[in-house]
Amino acid sequence: MSAATPAPAPAASSRESIALSVLTNPLGLIAAILLVLVIATAVFAPLIAPFAPGDLQIFKINAPPGDGYLLGGDGSGRDIFSRLVYGARNTLIGALIALSVAAAIGVTAGLFAGYFGGRREVVMSWIADGLMALPALIVLLAFYQSLGSSIQVSMVIFGIMLSPGFYRLTRNLVNGVKHELYVDAARVSGLSDMRIIARHILLVIRAPVIIQTSIVAGISIVIQAGLEFLGLGDPSVPTWGGMLQDAFANMFVVPTAILWPGLAISITVASFVLLANAIRDRLQQGNRTAPASKMPKVVAKPVGAAPTDNDLLLDIRELVVGYPGKTGWTEVVKGVSLQLRKGEVLGLVGESGSGKTQTAFSVLGLLSTGGRILSGSIWFDGRDIANLPEDEMQKLRGKRIAYVPQEPMSNLDPAFRIGFQLTEPMMTVLGISRSEAKARALKLLAKVGMPDPMRTYKAYPHQISGGMAQRVLIARAISCSPDLLIADEPTTALDVTVQAEVLELLRDLQAEMGMSVILVTHNFGVVADICHRVSVMKDGKVVETADVRTLFADPQHDYTKMLLGAVLDDVTPRTYRPRMLKEVSA
Amino acid sequence: MLSYVSKRLLSSLVLLALVTTLTFAMVFGGADNVAQNILGDNATDQQIADLETKLGIDRPLYEQYGTWVAKAVRGDLGMSWTMGESVSKILSGRLPVTLSMVVLAIVIIGVVSALLGIAAAVRGGWADRVIQLISVVGFSLPNFWLGLILVVVFALNLRWLPATGYTDFTTSPTGWLASLALPVGALVLSGIASASQQVRGAMIDALRQDYVRTLRAGGIKPSSVLFRHALRNAMPAALTVLSLQFIGLLGGAAIIERVFAIPGLGSITVQAALSGDIPILMGVVVTMIILVVIVNIAIDLTNAWVNPKVRL
Amino acid sequence: MSDDVIVQCIDVNTKFGALHVLKNVNLTVRPGETVGLVGESGSGKTTLGRAILGIGPVSSGRILFEGHDIAGVAPRDRKGNAASIQAVFQDPYTSLNPSMTIEDILVEPIVARRQASLEEARARVRTLLDQVNLPSDAAYRYPREFSGGQRQRVAIARALALSPHLIVCDEPVSALDLSTQQRVLDLFVEIQERTGVAYLFVSHDLSVVRHISHRVAVMRGGEIVEFGDCDQVTAHPQHDYTKRLLLAAPVADPVRQADRRAALRALNTGA
């Protein structure tokens, strides 16, 4: 049985009481109350149960409810209710044993394997894989004769077999954390490995391990009941699984008797699962906003009429883009107007959060989940595409409006060869045959500067460098001769020498094909290198638009001046004045 | 790839050797009064001693182990102590029964989880809620209890399907399906509960990747983005879940076969465990590990085909 | 061993398996000096920084810190002033533990090095925050409540906690916006002038390195191809690679950039 449920990294602060906030979740509260009830029943069993679990009354064999037996009698004439109460105790003890063994072994091994890695990790992972490859129940059955009928010994073995779940979870979490820079910083600060694990790593793995614990508790209860149901338990000890076995034997006489122990198991396990879900929900709350479907519908009305100037390819008017926030729409683009002529390269420049990327994505109709154009128009070649239906928009993308992303590697599908990724859009958009697409793809690859087009064509993305991947993405973007190319920080992820080559390529292609380009960037050097005109954005608005030479020579807006002032191009290097450290620190 | 398969086989052999040795030590080491168990309480000491000699369990443990291994590598798993037949013969008669049940279950789990998981990842809404409900219910209902309830409802009350027994596929395909409907129904719920969630998670991850936006920006059809690109990238995670499901089902089959009186590997394991028929237990453990190894290798190979970064 | 050198790398080599990441690297940093280490991805600049910090491997060679060899010695095993070598990393979002308060973060190195008791260390937090121009009530807040630039100030404060003689800065301003970047660089300069700390300043950005450094080393493929005074290296480079690197970075001036582009093209076709 697998317990490999992916757990989220904790987003919320650990100091805030997770326990308290879980209880404010209705399902979490119900689950917690049920669990408290079950545990209380187990602890106070002798006080609650009207009969001892072994009390027999011959005339009550398979008796219906009533006459002192709240839920009737079982196949031997014992009180079903009393046995349920005592069964809670034995079931929880068994689960606790399996859980403790699994968590103790799994978490410890996971911490060490994850943190220290190397040979230790290889060996431990091999053992974990091996344990996971064994059907737990079969192993427990095979060991039954030597373990004897004590279900608790079996639960120890089961705990060992469950430990890989904890091991893998912990190891993966630790692997995710140990290369975080704050762990490096702690190491530089002189913390020992043990202190780093205790201070930085346990904190991160705590919540996911609690979730896993809750789920494994449920699994243990089910497996334990299964063993007892098969008759592998001690018949003298009342357990839910044993009761099911008894009810099964008498199923044709009293079918309802199978109900009670099953319900007891299901409700207890469900409580554990719901509790785990409540904790997980709590942890994920930080990054959740209202679903877009719950937001008021918006349809942006066209602003003005279609532009009459035929030379104007793109005319964005008073564009407002919003995302669902906690209280209504959060606007990220607040009334942007931009114009782009045919064959022109427009730089859209600004700092993070200025809305430059969101503006570009609205032209493509590819805002992230939940994002909407709230008002304004995007006139593209005489048509307002701000609210175009998705299928209409899809016909424009690739064919007339193309896109070059920032991060070349993550923007190629790792599962397909470059060739397929180049020919697929051409075959879809232009409707040409595979062989024609291939011929064109090879020409394109040569055009963007691939020394051996055929080799690149046959390569998978991970087999080429970042600079080459960006050339492939550019080749794909221009493959259907678009009128407008939207390039989102196309050189930011590249080394500076590669950046120069890619800018050179973009410039040549733009001149040759005469397409218009919107180049989103934060780098004024890139703007100066390739753009004809520039729009400077700040906080969702365009503060200044000018011809590129004018902007650099004579910036008008204070913000532009400040940004240009922050450029470090022409500083005088510092001069070194040797001083004695002692003198300084004194 | 060949070197991968041979490496994997070697590692599996080591696993097989370790597990069988451990199992052997555990079951034979703990088998104190096997003969007594087999003969019953009325047996005389002489009878017990005779049987122990006959079974070979009066010899030292390592000697018994040596004999067992020497035979096992030739495919001879010995004679059953209680059923008077060779272990290989008993198991080979029962393996197809369990396999047909488990394979049917895994196919259903795969298909239903894929549909539900993809729907939930793409649309959210109702599919998301169905998955959440199934995940709680499927985890909480023990499969054997679900089986019992199915028997009471569909076999005892409605009389639609047989309560117990197994019909061979070659005898009657419809009878086969009818005899497996309830057991498979009881087995798949918990599998769907965990697999559909994993598929959903894997699909959401895949759809969040940068290249999905870039594919859409390139005018690729949504159906191709979803089924060709995203699904292919989500597949390794989903397949890994299925391989774990397969292992879980082999265990689950033991209980379910008992409930539905199906003459498969699981029910004979229970029988052998209760009667102390150790050669059968050893045989079952060996068979199960070999099955799991085959499935895992098959899934690894599929993953390698799907994900070119994995070099075999 | 002259007195005016705080760090001296002598023929440092690092290999990851078959990969030779650092090849006979020789580098010196003087007290109170900033040495800029510039190069492209895979040049080995970060590996060298980590080797000096003691969190990266050294296959051969020596790293002398105030005369003592610290190559391959883990931070917690370092003695004296070498124990106080600190770091400021690139990403201010992952260099601070999200579940610790700023106070906990700043106290950690002081307590780990047993320089002061927890109470004394807490009292020092205010001074540290003051040094990086953060309000003292920042101590009780969590990293997520701060912007990227502010977080980087916290990281600098943490590096200052042990009054180090050397801080290794690994791309400390690369993740910041232009305007923030300049303010953080100014803070680095101000702190250096006040405390006399030396920086090894690793960056891919020549303009950043030129802004803050006294001397600059250019790395490529694990080797230092050019090392000299900042003005010499960044204005009159000798090595072809440095020239290319210099010309490849576009400047924020369309007229000059056109000239540089032509010059780069000439250099590339000539080479």
Q: What is the DSSP string of A497-515?
A: HHHHHHHHHHHHHHHHH--
Query: Distance (Å) from the C-alpha of residue B176 to the closest C-alpha of chain A?
Result: 24
B163 neighbors B81 (Cβ within 8 angstroms): no
Per-residue pLDDT at B307: 77
The average pLDDT across A504-517 equals 94
Which chain B positions have a beta carbon within 8 Å of A230's beta carbon?
254-255, 258, 270, 273
Q: What are the backbone angles phi and psi of residue C84, rounded to the nearest 5°?
A: -100, 5
- 8 Å CB contact of C94 and A181: yes
Is the pLDDT at A6 greater than 60? The verdict is: no
Per-residue pLDDT at A284: 66
What part of C 208-227 touches A (C-beta under 8 Å)? 208, 210-215
Q: Which of A154-168, B27-41, B69-83 has the highest mean pLDDT?
A: A154-168
- 8 Å CB contact of C248 and A496: yes
Domain edge (last residue) among A262, A285, A308 = A285
Q: Which residue among B15, B137, B220 places its CB closest to the CB of A130?
A: B15
Q: Which of the pair, B288 or B312, is modelled with greater confidence?
A: B288
Domain edge (last residue) among A488, A505, A531 = A531
Which chain A positions have a beta carbon within 8 Å of B15's beta carbon?
130, 133
Q: Which residue among A135, A407, A473 places its CB closest to the CB of B247?
A: A135
Q: What residue segments make up the domains of chain B, in order of their start? A: 2-63, 93-310
Is the pLDDT at B109 greater than 70? The verdict is: yes
Which chain A positions have a beta carbon within 8 Å of C97's beta carbon?
180, 182, 200, 203
Query: Distance (Å) from the C-alpha of residue C24 to the closest C-alpha of chain A?
Result: 24
Residue among A141, A368, A403 with most chain B CBs within 10 A, to mutate: A141
Domain edge (last residue) among A531, A549, A575 = A531
DSSP structure class, residue C16: E
The average pLDDT across A402-420 equals 92
Residue among A230, A399, A420, A458 with most chain B CBs within 10 A, to mutate: A230
pLDDT tens digits for range A307-348: 778 889 999 999 999 998 877 888 999 999 999 999 999 999
Q: What is the DSSP string of A189-201?
A: TT--HHHHIIIII
Is the pLDDT at B37 greater than 70? The verdict is: no
**A280 and A410 in a common domain:** no
pLDDT tens digits for range A81-126: 888 888 898 889 999 999 999 999 999 999 989 888 888 888 998 8
- 8 Å CB contact of B152 and A226: no
SS3 A473: helix
pLDDT tens digits for range A224-246: 898 888 888 887 888 898 888 88
Q: What's the pLDDT band for B163 if we cut at 50, 70, 90?
A: confident
Asked if chain A contacts chain C via 3 or more Cβ pairs within 8 Å, the reply is yes
A551, part of any domain: no
The average pLDDT across C223-249 equals 92
Per-residue pLDDT at A548: 94
Query: Distance (Å) from the C-alpha of residue A141 to the closest C-alpha of chain B?
Result: 6
What are the CA-CA distances from residue A144 to residues B261, B277, C7 (Å)?
Answer: 21, 11, 66
SS3 A228: helix
DSSP structure class, residue C224: E
- Nearest CA to C113 out of C77, C89, C73 is that of C77
Per-residue pLDDT at A584: 45
pLDDT tens digits for range A425-459: 999 999 999 999 999 999 999 999 999 999 999 99
Q: Which of the pair, C200 or B69, is modelled with greater confidence?
A: C200
The CB-based long-range contact list for B110-113 (8 Å cut-off, 24+ gap) reads B110/B195, B110/B242, B112/B188, B112/B192, B112/B196, B113/B191, B113/B192, B113/B195, B113/B196, B113/B198, B113/B199, B113/B238
Q: Residue A96: enclosing H or E segment and its boundaries?
A: helix A80-116
What is the phi-psi region of residue C27: left when phi exceeds 0, alpha when psi lies from -120 to 50, beta otherwise?
A: beta
Which chain A positions have a beta carbon within 8 Å of C195's beta carbon?
584-585
Work out the percent of chain A whose per-residue pLDDT is above 90: 47
Per-residue pLDDT at A293: 55
C97 neighbors A200 (Cβ within 8 angstroms): yes
Q: What's the pLDDT band for A378 if we cut at 50, 70, 90?
A: very high
Per-residue pLDDT at C88: 95
Chain Cα centroid distance, residue A117:
24
- 8 Å CB contact of B278 and A403: no
Which ranges of B43-86 does DSSP label H, i.e. alpha helix? 45-55, 61-72
Which chain C positions have a beta carbon within 8 Å of A349's beta carbon?
none
Per-residue pLDDT at A5: 36
Per-residue pLDDT at A475: 95
A488 neighbors A404 (Cβ within 8 angstroms): yes
How many structural domains is chain A composed of?
2
Q: Which residue among B30, B209, B285 places its CB closest to the CB of A138?
A: B285
Q: Residue B249: enclosing H or E segment and its boundaries?
A: helix B231-259
Residue among B22, B87, B140, B250 with most chain A CBs within 10 A, to mutate: B140
What's the token pair of residue A129? 């894989």
**Quick check: A284 contacting B, CB < 8 Å?**
no
- 8 Å CB contact of B269 and A252: no
**A248 and A108 in a common domain:** yes
Query: Distance (Å) from the C-alpha of residue A371 to the closest C-alpha of chain B?
Result: 14
**Quick check: A262 contacting B, CB < 8 Å?**
yes
Q: Which residue among A269, A410, A477 places its CB closest to the CB of B209?
A: A410
A304, part of any domain: no
Is the pLDDT at B1 greater than 80? The verdict is: no
Per-residue pLDDT at A582: 45
- 8 Å CB contact of A184 and C108: no
Q: Scanning every residue of chain A, which has its alpha carbon at the shortest distance from the alpha carbon of C109?
A: A189
Per-residue pLDDT at A296: 64
The average pLDDT across B223-252 equals 89
| Rounded-to-integer distance, Cα A138 and Cα A152, Å | 17
For residue A418, give its domain range. Answer: 398-531
pLDDT tens digits for range C120-161: 888 899 999 999 999 988 999 999 889 889 999 999 999 999
Residue owning tokens 């080393």: C217
Per-residue pLDDT at A76: 75
**Which range among A175-184, A443-452, C51-60 shows the weakest confidence by mean pLDDT?**
A175-184
The average pLDDT across B140-168 equals 83
pLDDT tens digits for range C8-55: 999 999 998 888 999 999 999 999 999 999 999 889 999 999 999 999
Q: What are the backbone angles phi and psi of residue C79, rounded to the nearest 5°?
A: -115, 160
Q: What's the pLDDT band for A277 if we cut at 50, 70, 90?
A: confident
| Rounded-to-integer distance, Cα B33 and Cα B104, Å | 40
Work out the percent of chain B whose per-residue pLDDT is above 90: 18
Per-residue pLDDT at A299: 67
Is the pLDDT at A583 greater than 50? The verdict is: no
pLDDT tens digits for range C217-235: 999 999 999 999 999 999 8
**Quick check: A269 contacting B, CB < 8 Å?**
yes
pTM across the whole model: 0.85
The average pLDDT across A355-382 equals 91
What part of A 196-235 touches B (C-beta under 8 Å)? 215, 218-219, 222, 225-226, 229-232
Instruction: Return mean pLDDT, chain C.
Output: 91
Q: Which CATH superfamily is domain B93-310 in?
A: MetI-like (1.10.3720.10)
Per-residue pLDDT at A511: 94
The average pLDDT across A294-313 equals 75
Find chains touching chain B: ≥3 CB pairs under 8 Å: A
Residue among C76, C194, C200 with most chain A CBs within 10 A, to mutate: C76
**Quick check: C230 contacting A, CB < 8 Å?**
yes
CATH of domain C1-85+165-236: 3.40.50.300
Residue type, A256: T
The average pLDDT across A28-40 equals 90
The total of other beta-carbon atoms located within 10 Å of residue A326's CB is: 8
Query: How many beta-carbon pairs under 8 angstroms link A with B?
Result: 234
Q: Which of the pair, B2 or C94, is modelled with greater confidence?
A: C94
Query: Distance (Å) from the C-alpha of residue C249 to the closest C-alpha of chain A?
Result: 6
Q: Is the ipTM of this complex over 0.85?
A: yes
Q: What residue segments make up the domains of chain C, in order of their start? A: 1-85+165-236, 96-163, 239-271
A105 neighbors A261 (Cβ within 8 angstroms): no
Across C132-212, the runs of DSSP E, i.e. the strands, are: 166-170, 198-203
A503 neighbors C247 (Cβ within 8 angstroms): no
Which chain B positions have a beta carbon within 8 Å of A229's beta carbon?
144, 255, 258
A155 neighbors A98 (Cβ within 8 angstroms): yes
Instruction: Return mean pLDDT, chain B.
Output: 85
Find chains touching chain A: ≥3 CB pairs under 8 Å: B, C
pLDDT tens digits for range A487-508: 999 998 889 999 999 999 999 9
Chain Cα centroid distance, residue B136:
22
Q: Computed over its alpha carbons, how large is the radius of gyration of chain B?
A: 24
SS3 C114: coil
